Amino acid sequence: MLYTGRVMPNLTELRRKARTITVQWPVSESQNVAIQVTYDPGKITMASQDIPDDGKTLHDYWEERVMDYVSAWDLMDDDGKQLPVSPEGIAKLETALVQTILLAIQEDARPNLRTTTST
């Protein structure tokens, strides 16, 4: 639905609240595990998508995006303790898992726009 108010909403009003998504991750050829990831869609901005040319690696970029977007997940370390959403916690993850989490966030964050047609 198009915004029909008299005054256009400000950025705070446009920002959506935290969302929790399920990310499927294969642990074998026939089995996936479901990882619950909570993220803040309002932190996904045009500026946050820039890949700066400041000498940082792609790994640094992905780590920063996870730190910016993700507030919680249900990942556990090998001792059964909650894996923190921190540089140290992220460093323990496979690169492909980090990419999968970021892609799932990007896909979920897209608005489900409805278009109208005139008849």
Mean pLDDT value of segment 7-33: 81
Who has greater pLDDT, 47 or 21?
Answer: 21
Residue range 82-98, pLDDT digits in tens: 999 999 999 999 999 99
Residue range 26-79, pLDDT digits in tens: 999 999 999 999 999 888 876 666 666 777 787 888 899 999 999 999 999 999
pLDDT confidence tier of residue 23, bands split at 50, 70 and 90 = very high
End-to-end, the C-alpha distance of the chain in Å comes to 17
Helical segments of the chain, H only: 11-14, 46-49, 58-69, 87-91, 95-109
Evaluate whether residue 6 is within a structural domain. Answer: no
Which residue range is the domain that position 79 belongs to?
A: 16-109
How many percent of the chain have pLDDT more than 70? Answer: 74
Evaluate whether residue 114 is within a structural domain. Answer: no
Structure tokens belonging to residue 10: 């400000």
Contact 93, 37 (CB under 8 A): no
Number of domains in the chain: 1
| Residue 44 neighbours by CB under 8 Å, 6+ apart | 69, 105, 106, 109
Q: What is the pLDDT of residue 97?
A: 96
**For the chain, how big is the Rg over CA atoms in Å?**
17
Contact 98, 91 (CB under 8 A): no
Give Dmax over CA atoms of the chain in angstroms: 62
Where b means 16+ CB within 10 Å and e means fewer, 14-32 reads eeeeeeebebebeeeeeee
